[in-house]
Amino acid sequence: MARAYNFNAGPAALPEEVLLKAQKEFLDFEGSHMSVMELSHRSKEYSQVHDKANALLRELMEIPENYEILLLQGGASLQFSMVPLNLLDRNLGASYILTGSWSEKAVKEAKRIGPVEIAASTKASGYHAIPPLANIHWNKETSYVHLTSNNTIYGTQWQEYPQTGHIPLIADMSSDIMSKKIDVSRFGLIYAGAQKNLGPSGVTVVIIRKDLIKKDESLPTMLSYHTHASSGSLYNTPPTLAIYLLSLVLEWTKDKGGVSQIEKLNQQKAKLIYDAIDESNGFYTGHADRDSRSNMNITFTLPSSELTDKFLQEAADEGFIGLSGHRSVGGCRASIYNAVPHEHCLALAEFMKKFKNTNS
């Protein structure tokens, strides 16, 4: 069966090898005569899955021992609340950097908990760029500095992160986690919904420095990082199928050569499409400034809405899925997460060139 050219922004493409292995094990996991979905989360079989996911995350991201890995639910949207509930000191406030819609939503939730300052924003210019590091300013006693590492809607991505010293740097990495090597020790907390680079929707990875985990009896039990850290992310029934698929994606990443090799492949994939944009003599216009371009979400426009509609229809006829831009900005978007094959990006670049030559 031919696979679609899947450029959806999320839930997104999963590696075909992962899907085939999951299919093979679907009715009988490890000789249990049960599906992973049917296993008790307290069983020996499931414990091996849970432990493997944790171990591979720690290995592939080189997570130091003084960090806890939590496998939670609720997506990044719940983390917008959990982060300030657990870390925001109301006497100090927190600092947020605005680079798109998701950071705006994070700010909205944080303001429900305590005072928030905007350390930098590119909203006035239409979120075309990541702010220069020199333009980011936060209160020196702030509780933490929060950023969104990659912006799926606008197609921008941090190339270098601010140095925050003793102040914890918090990052929503939902759409570019494990797409490139990072120094985890630069961050106090990293969180990511799995449905872009790590697996299916349903599980959220939180990587938190252990000294930031505090027991606070005033917090609702399920909204406390301490609850989940002290129970190995097994306080309540975890999303077992999503964690199983997470473990398979991590296994696939390791087999591909790890994060450093994945990063090289992502750079090559992105270059194919950005070259099609840059060499089109203005037929395609990228949304993001060149020094802020994302290797995960490539956003661009065509000369008219009529041509955009024609492009999307002809692309769909050729098997390209998910190329419509977000409703808030329009245009087109190609999401080329880790699992999107190089050949699919090459096919899209060739289609873009052919469409331009026919319609310009």
Catalytic residue among 158, 172, 176, 252: 172
Asked whether residue 76 falls in the same domain as residue 189, the answer is: yes
Q: Is 83 exposed, middle or buried (0-12, 13-18, 19+ CB in 10 A)?
A: buried
Domain assignment present for residue 12? The answer is no
Q: Is the pLDDT of residue 94 over 90?
A: yes
The verdict on 134 and 109 lying in the same domain is: yes
Residue 162, preceding bond cis, omega within 30 degrees?
no
What mean pLDDT, rounded, does the chain reach? 97
1 pLDDT tier (thresholds 50, 70, 90): low
pLDDT for the residue numbered 147: 99
Quick check: is 318 in a domain?
A: yes
- Selection from 130, 117, 120, 81 nearest residue 97 by Cα: 120
What's the whole-model pTM score? 0.97
CB 110 within 8 A of CB 95: no
Find out whether 156 and 99 touch, Cβ atoms under 8 Å. yes
Q: Which of 138, 158, 176, 196 is catalytic?
A: 196
Instruction: Specify the number of domains making up the chain.
Output: 2
Predicted pLDDT of residue 2: 80
Domain end residue (candidates: 204, 225, 255): 255
Specify whether the backbone of 233 is left (phi greater than 0), alpha (psi in -120 to 50) or beta: left
Q: Which of 213, 233, 255 is the last residue of a domain?
A: 255
Same domain, 248 and 290: no
Range of the domain at 86: 17-255
Tens-digit pLDDT profile for residues 20-65: 999 999 999 999 999 999 999 999 999 999 999 999 999 999 999 9
Q: Provide the pairing of β-strand 320-321 with 5-6.
A: parallel
Is position 6 within any domain? no
- The pLDDT tens digits for 150-161 are 999 999 999 999
Residues 174 and 225 reside in one and the same domain: yes
**Percent residues over pLDDT 70 in the chain:** 100
β-strand partners of 69: 207
In a domain, 8, yes or no: no
pLDDT tens digits along 299-344: 999 999 999 999 999 999 999 999 999 988 899 999 999 999 999 9
Residue 172 annotated in active site: yes
CATH number, domain of 296, equals 3.90.1150.10
Instruction: Give pLDDT, residue 198.
Output: 98
Residue 328 has a pLDDT of: 84
C-alpha angle 173/176/177, rounded to 5°?
A: 65
Cβ-based neighbours of 53, under 8 Å, separated by 6 or more: 71, 243, 246, 247, 250
Residue 261 and residue 239 share a domain:
no
179-233: pLDDT as tens digits: 999 999 999 999 999 999 999 999 999 999 999 999 999 999 999 999 999 999 9
CATH code of the domain containing 247: 3.40.640.10
138 and 23 in a common domain? yes
Q: Are residues 123 and 235 in the same domain?
A: yes
Quick one: pLDDT at residue 330? 92
Based on the domain organization, do 50 and 129 belong to the same domain? Answer: yes
190 lies in some domain: yes
Collapsing DSSP to helix, strand or coil, 38 comes out as helix
> Would you tell me how many other CB atoms lie within 10 Å of the CB of residue 357?
10
Residue 10 falls inside a structural domain: no
Same domain, 109 and 146: yes
Claim to verify: residue 178 and residue 123 sit in the same structural domain: yes
pLDDT band at 88 (very low <50, low <70, confident <90, very high): very high
Query: Which residue is listed with tokens 């570019």?
Result: 176
Which tokens is 150 given? 């990659």
Task: Specify if 168 maps to a domain.
Answer: yes
264 is catalytic: no
Same domain, 224 and 151: yes
Q: What is the pLDDT of residue 79?
A: 98
| Residue 9 within a domain | no
Q: Both 295 and 168 in a single domain?
A: no
Of 234, 255, 276, which residue is a domain's last? 255
Q: What b/e string do you get for 176-212 counting C-beta neighbours within 10 Å, with b at 16 or more?
A: bbbbbebeeeebbbbbbbbbbbbbbebbbbbbbbeeb
